[in-house]
Amino acid sequence: QTTGKGVDMADLAYTERWRELVRQVRKSLAFGFDTATRYKDNFDVFVNMTKKNAETSTSQIVENYKSGDLVIDNFRRDTITYLDQKKRMEAFYVDQNVGIVKIKSERLQTALLPSPKAKLEELSKMLPGLAAEMFDKFIGEIHAGTSKLANPPKSA
């Protein structure tokens, strides 16, 4: 029956227009939920990054470097990692319409972004001191070696 407005549902169900509407709704739902799933996956990655950052001690990294357990390339790699995390978190959509779903993740970004920023700041603060310390140690070794070479041998 018609209500005086629009088309009778029974008539609509058998038209091409109805089938097209159903296809569009299905497509919109699939798009919305696929995008929401991608957001969730990114969220999981960001949470894991933040947890790992919290477990990583930059002072322990310095001690491991001083003891010879780490090489300078580890610092470069860590810096690149934190920069990449920061860029990815900053680029993450904070307000996005995805079909029938609206995703607002500004609070997520605000909560997670300080993690890589803090690690970058820690590395930036400690590296000059570490470089100076390692340079002093290197110069000390050079002076010790030069002194040995400058002294005549005790026996020939």
How do the pLDDT tens digits run along the chain, 156 residues long?
A: 545 666 666 666 667 887 888 898 888 888 888 888 887 887 888 888 888 888 888 888 888 888 888 777 877 888 888 888 888 877 776 666 766 666 677 777 777 777 888 888 888 888 888 888 888 988 999 999 888 888 877 776
- Residue 20's alpha-carbon distances to 15, 16, 26, 67, in angstroms, are 9, 6, 10, 68
Question: pTM of the entire structure?
Answer: 0.55
Q: From CA 119, how far away is CA 79, in angstroms rounded?
A: 8
| Token pair 């739902």: residue | 29
Q: From CA 156, how far away is CA 151, in angstroms rounded?
A: 13
Pairing of strands 101-104, 95-98: antiparallel
pLDDT at 9: 67
Structure tokens at 137: 């140690």
- Residue 105's alpha-carbon distances to 27, 43, 76, 113, 141, in angstroms, are 24, 9, 30, 12, 54
**Helical H segments across the chain, by residue range:** 9-12, 16-55, 58-66, 72-91, 106-112, 114-150
